[in-house]
Amino acid sequence: MWDLREAAEALEAELLRPRAPFEVRGACADSRRIQPGELFVALPGQKRDGHDFLAEAFARGAVGALASRDPGVGHNLILVSDVKKALWDLARWRRESLDFVAVGITGSFGKTTAKELLAAALSTTYRVFRTPESYNTEIGVPLSLLSLPADAEIGVFELAESDPEELRRLCELLQPWAGMITAVGPAHLALLGTVERAADTVWTLAEALPEEGVLALTWDFPELRARVERCDGFCLRFGQTEEADFFPREIVDDDPQGIRFVAETPGGAVPMKLRLLGAHRAVLACGALALAWGLGVPGKVAAQAMAEVPPLPHRLELREAPFGWILDDCFNANPVSMQAALRTLVRLRLPVKIRAALLGDMLELGPEEGLFHRAVVEAARRLGVEPIFAFGPRMSAALAAMGGAGLAEEGDLFRLVSAVRKALGSGPALLLIKGSRGLFLERAVEALSAPEEKPGG
């Protein structure tokens, strides 16, 4: 916990309507999700202004608020001229007051899965804090720092990689001692331009580590292997290849209960079982195993802890549906994760006759986006996925060009949902739903998971 009065003093700000208690247990910028004892951060937005929700935040138990104006409600308002800047200044103040080992995780994909696996492994030996959900941006990371308990020994932070300057600032704020780079690939190319530039961006984390620090580095990408000589810290390599220090073999990925494999490590073979789906998760688990080992956690101990990590919401999460099952992977999408999800769709050992996919646009891919979308449809056809349903102008254009069973729908998601429901009938079927975050395909997941209403009640 930290004290609101000390925070206001650190910001050289006025504390309006002071009232005990002053102890803060965390920070939140969403009035709908705030917990008792937290500081509400009233950020201005393009559509909504956090100041308009101060009353709701206090009704839910906020102990104070960081605000740039006083709407006349609440207490313990830290009044500043720029809320976002003050959030960063407050997080920096809090970071300097804490003594913990900061671990940063970045990469084009796999960050959240790696974070959850690593945090579980480290929790066997240390008091561990991890960022909630995907709090990896210039808003999420400062909020997470303000929520880190004073007795935490290790903090595991996910760091966004779509903007090199943002990642540099996040590293300066976090001051990581250890880190993991999960992957580099065709994600955010509209912002980064090339995979080579994406590699430069994620390497920012490696450059931020001290000489005595530890880096777990994926060894599956030549763009990253070429940079390893520039790593000043202790580098542990993980990947699919046997050239890595940590790699999986004997992967069993068709069990709907989760994957099994053997992780080869410098300390010997470690049998592993996860409740997660997808063969590519075995590589991420080897990365978590590597960094946990570098921080003093034995491989077998780490493996036992990782076996308890539950399936992550909207990330290859298997859900029951009236027609059979939905493979919900709608949190985000890029060309590599699309291919991995399609392989998982056809590999799972389930009693189904139909393996179908509802595929949404992949955003921020730059001028080659058409090629990337066509490659996904080609891969789905090659794997025998049918029918295919496309949502969004990019995936719809790709499906229309390829032909075959299914439907392309640019903008009406619920028309597409009706078509999916009709095509799958009573099944038994397994449907993959995947697309970029901006499409909000969880709407389709929820609609298709619900029992179909019968006419006449």
pLDDT per residue as tens, the chain (457 positions): 899 999 999 999 999 999 999 999 999 999 999 999 999 999 987 778 889 999 999 999 999 999 999 989 999 999 999 999 999 999 999 999 999 999 999 998 899 999 999 999 999 999 999 998 878 999 999 999 999 999 999 999 999 987 888 999 999 999 999 999 999 877 555 565 578 888 888 999 999 999 999 999 999 999 999 988 888 789 999 999 999 999 999 999 999 999 999 999 999 999 999 999 999 999 999 999 999 999 999 999 999 999 999 999 999 999 999 999 999 999 989 998 999 999 999 999 999 999 999 999 999 888 889 999 999 999 999 999 999 999 999 999 999 998 888 899 998 999 999 999 999 998 899 999 999 989 999 999 999 999 876 555 4
Within a 10 A sphere around the Cβ of 250, how many other Cβ atoms? 12
Q: For residue 332, which of 351, 315, 350 has the smallest C-alpha distance?
A: 315
- Under DSSP, the state recorded for 194 is S
Tell how many helices (H) and how many strands (E) occur in the chain: 16, 22
Cα 375 from Cα 252, distance rounded (Å): 26
Concatenated DSSP letters of 216-263: EEE-S-HHHHTTGGG--SEEEEESSSTTSSBEEEEEE---TT--EEEE
What Å distances lie between residue 54 and 90, 91, 131, 136, 153, CA to CA?
19, 21, 24, 24, 33
pLDDT for the residue 296: 96
pLDDT for the residue 231: 82
Cα 38 from Cα 130, distance rounded (Å): 17
Within a 10 A sphere around the Cβ of 331, how many other Cβ atoms? 21
Cα 138 from Cα 177, distance rounded (Å): 19
R_g (Cα) of the chain, nearest Å: 23
Tokens coding 429: 């079927």
Cα 448 from Cα 444, distance rounded (Å): 6
What Å distances lie between residue 66 and 16, 51, 55, 56, 148, CA to CA?
10, 9, 13, 14, 18
Domains and CATH numbers, the chain: 2-83 (3.40.1390.10), 98-306 (3.40.1190.10), 317-449 (3.90.190.20)
Q: For residue 105, which of 230, 309, 287 has the smallest C-alpha distance?
A: 287
Output b/e per residue, 296-320; b: 16+ Cβ within 10 A. ebbbbebbbbbbebebbebbbbbbe
> Which residues have C-beta within 8 Å of that of residue 188, sequence separation ≥ 6?
108, 161, 162, 198, 364
Strands (E), 80-224: 101-106, 128-130, 154-158, 178-181, 214-218
Report residue 163 CA to chain centroid gap: 16
> Which residues have C-beta within 8 Å of that of residue 258, sequence separation ≥ 6?
273, 274, 275, 276, 277
